[in-house]
Amino acid sequence: MRFDAVTLFPEMFDAILDHGITRRALDRGLYRFKSWNPRDFTDDPHRTVDDRPYGGGPGMLMQAEPLDRALNAVQQDLASEGLTPWVVHFSPRGRPLTHQRVMALKDAALNQNQALVLLCGRYEGIDERLLQRRVDEEISLGDFVLSGGELPALALMDALIRQLPGALNDADSAVEDSFANGLLDCPHYTRPEVWQGEAVPDVLKSGNHAAIVQWRLQQSLAITAAHRPDLLAMRGLSKQEQDLLAAHPGAAQKKAVQGQ
């Protein structure tokens, strides 16, 4: 898989390239990364990439021409490898990023020779004409504003890279992540067996694999119902899952409170 970032701050991507799982995946050749600075595609001595917005208002806007030239260079470089660019712009008006969209982007990269081009805006934004002409998709991390597109780009890269075959030492880790099956993850415990008077649940020490699987599913259902009931509504529950959720101690407590 290949990532190309159009950014004024390429050094920010060292957080992905130099650390942890994403560094190991890079060393294993599972993905490649290249950055493109719009300042390298300007003509003036000051390498200007921004200007005041028409109509007035605070701040500056990124100009269309340097970004357009940078994207042309990316496209040409990708074409030499037989890759097709998919340009993603990070914006509050974009669709919220989901696990399902991450998986779709991964599949397109692995099966359709698609390279992900991450267009990272700065200042007050980017000239709308450039966005309309060159962007394939807009993505949002949530209903809040960041100083630029680099942090969302890093988040998307991390989410994608961990899904690449061979990125994780244990492939089951990705399968059991939150959202992978439409639910939030269950609680996890490690040594010591008792910490500050609280013990690890007995079922996890029982060695009964089937009981552990059922307990973890029940916990995931209960946590999702408590924190993200919208996920349950979208996913739907089987009869077994409905019974497990109804049998969770938290569900009984909730009914007792509602009945008071």
Catalytic position from the list 11, 92, 128, 201: 92
CB-based contact 87:115 (threshold 8 Å): no
Catalytic position from the list 124, 138, 185, 241: 124
For residue 82, the SS3 value is coil
Q: Is 32 a catalytic residue?
A: no
**5: number of Cβ within 10 Å:** 25
Q: Is 28 a catalytic residue?
A: no
Q: Is 128 a catalytic residue?
A: no
Q: Cβ contacts of residue 33 below 8 Å, gap of 6+?
A: 2, 3, 4, 5, 13, 16, 17, 26, 157
Q: Is 202 a catalytic residue?
A: no
Cα–Cα distance between 249 and 124 in angstroms, integer? 50
Catalytic position from the list 77, 177, 185, 241: 177
**Among 90, 92, 88, 94, which Cα is nearest to 144's?**
92
Instruction: Write out the catalytic residue numbers.
Output: 92, 124, 162, 177
